[in-house]
Amino acid sequence: MLLNILNPKKYYFLFIEVINFLRNPYLNENNIGKKNRITNTIILIVIKLILAIIVGFISRIIIWNIGIQAENIGFKNAEELYTSFELLVIGAIIFPLLEETGFRLYLRFRPIYLSLSSTVLCYYFITKVIYKTNNLDINNDFIIRVVISIFLGILVFLISTKYQKHLQKFWKTNIRWILYFSIFLFGFVHILNYELSIKVFLLFPLITLPQLVSGALMGFARINYGFIYGLSMHMISNFIYLSLLILIK
């Protein structure tokens, strides 16, 4: 395992494999051994961090040259509300678990997967769009937001169980668009962390380019290796990123 992690060719070939997969997504049988899944996940974390730095730097230069001020007020507000330890717990454990459940669990169809994803996404929508507040806000009708989300999740479970065979066929035939939708939605949700304007809204693919790239890589891991591997990628990379930010400040 260690030799593979230290082998530059392994990074190159896995990166090409990801690119080819994203060009033509498909659902395989997850017949990759556990050892290879762990090794590939570690390599993907490194690739993810490198790409996030590169595309983040490029996108910021373009945004500044255009003359748009795009500040992540979501993270700035979180810094004011929470201690460094709380930020690590929230950013490296709670949010990755919620986001992977909402945005990528359903990439492999099962009624319970689609139900859990729908529950989380409904909560995100109600909290961010309707209440315009933080996902961790427990003061603004928190119980109502949770109950509505759970109700929708139960409804989705009942409907998807009834039409399970049709939906399985639909997933297999349309996984390309389902994956692309999850990547798009993951990036779009993160634009809500910024002060919105027409220009910021229209340029959201550029502003959230690191999240779009991350969503693509974690989507690849979720489909090909399993949910826990995409979740591990998210948690570890967030922990490294937040730790560096905290140390710098």
User: pLDDT tens digits, residue range 14-57?
Assistant: 999 999 999 999 998 777 888 999 999 999 999 999 999 999 89
**What whole-number distance in Å separates Cα of residue 216 and Cα of residue 211?**
9
Which of 120, 131, 82, 99 lies closest to 211, judged by CA? 99
**What whole-number distance in Å separates Cα of residue 68 and Cα of residue 60?**
10
Average pLDDT over residues 207-216: 94
pLDDT-based confidence at 71, cuts 50/70/90?
A: low
Quick one: angle between helices 95-103 and 164-190, nearest 10? 130
pLDDT at 222 over 90: yes
The pTM for the full model equals 0.92
